[in-house]
Amino acid sequence: MTYAVQFSAVADEDLERLFDFILQRELDSETGDLDIPERALQAIKEGIGFLRSSPFACRKVGASPFIRELVITFGRSGYVALYEIVDDNTVIIGAIRHQREDDYH
């Protein structure tokens, strides 16, 4: 079975915010690598691609078996995507944050 993975408006905004943060960090660095922001987005997309086939494999959040978190490795840390399995065919990404952030926005 293959699930369609959709992004909520909040998750889209999170991707932009995370990209902008990394880009600015690299621009401000004397040794900045402008490929890093694009590689981070690629890592997130690849990680989320896993949900098309195995959304129930990730850890549950709270009491609902349908709300879960996907940990996405990137560098020394990574990202966490909060998502909901809404039916037999659809997964919706609700939010994405860096692992070092306190919580979802």
pLDDT tens sequence across 8-61: 999 999 999 999 999 999 999 999 899 999 999 999 999 999 999 999 999 999
- What pLDDT is recorded for position 102? 74
Q: Taking 70 as the threshold, does the pLDDT of residue 104 lie above it?
A: no
Of 68, 84, 78, which Cα lies nearest the Cα of 101? Answer: 78
Helix H or strand E segment including 50:
none
pTM of the model: 0.90
- What pLDDT is recorded for position 10? 97
Give the span between the Cα atoms of 68 and 75, in whole angstroms.
23
Give the span between the Cα atoms of 79 and 87, in whole angstroms.
25
* Rama region for 4: left / alpha / beta (φ>0; ψ in -120 to 50; rest): beta
Architecture of domain 4-98: 2-Layer Sandwich (3.30)
Give the span between the Cα atoms of 69 and 60, in whole angstroms.
6
Domain ranges of the chain: 4-98
- What pLDDT is recorded for position 48? 96
- What pLDDT is recorded for position 100? 86
> What does each C-alpha distance from 59 to 5, 19, 37, 71 come to in angstroms?
17, 25, 26, 9
- What pLDDT is recorded for position 105? 56
